[in-house]
Amino acid sequence: MKVFVLVAGVGTRISRFAQGLPKCLLKVGETSLIRQMVDRMYQHGLRDITLVTGYKNHLIEKELGDRVSYRHNPFFHVTNSISSLWFARDLLEGDALITNGDLYYEDRVLDLMLTEKRDVMMLSDKTRIQEADYRFKLDGDRIVGYGKDIPNEETDAEYVGMAVIKKSFMPSFKKRLEELISKQDSNKWWEDVLYSFIPEGTSIHYRDVGGAFWAEVDYVEDYERIFRWVNEHNR
């Protein structure tokens, strides 16, 4: 399985706290978020890892060296993650795990991703409703609604920031990615490629993290939550 990690963004919501670093280089203990992510992937047998960089890419490359491959989004200041993934479009083939690069999670989250059998799945957390950022409405095993503005009473889960796309679905995904970019939709999230299939009746599945710990570092409070969990579990 190929892995694509998107780390191009400036991270404006936490930029003061990050003191100019890409937020994936924030440290938990002695190790950066991105190094911990790559270490976990290596431990799970994932070696074909491509990082799509942007903001201060030289620092990320210095951190990881030749453990991963790199693509660069030179327009990171004026585009969003859909454009970053487009810069790696020639590598989109076979099974792929696509993830945002500002995530921290325990090992069993990767176990869930690697045991997924369906052709496309986005990871979610049904316990995160009140404080959810990006929200899902669910029907059976499918995502039927998505967005930041879904009210609590209609929210079934929070999106975790990772998805698996299998070989069977990849040609459709890649074609839609290129279609959206050709329409100059460069400010969308990469996940909008998947969401665009839902109104057409294509099943985009979800999987719940089942109580596993995870955090996506958008705010200082997210970073603090990671530290609390690490300290409580002696990680």
pLDDT 10s digits, 2-35? 999 999 987 655 556 656 789 899 888 889 999 9
Residue 224's pLDDT is 84
Distance of CA 71 to the CA centre of its chain: 16
Q: Judge whether 9 and 18 are in contact, CB under 8 Å.
A: no
Centre a 10 Å sphere on the Cβ of residue 185 and count the other Cβ atoms it contains: 17
Residue 14's pLDDT is 56
Residue 235's pLDDT is 63
Residue 16's pLDDT is 60
| Distance separating alpha carbons of residues 183 and 130, to the nearest angstrom | 35
**pLDDT tens across 166-205, in order?**
999 999 999 999 999 999 989 899 999 999 999 999 999 9
Residue 18's pLDDT is 58
Whether the predicted pLDDT of 144 surpasses 80: yes
Contact residues for 45 (Cβ-Cβ < 8 A; gap 6+): none
Q: Which domains does the chain have, with CATH numbers?
A: 2-232 (3.90.550.10)
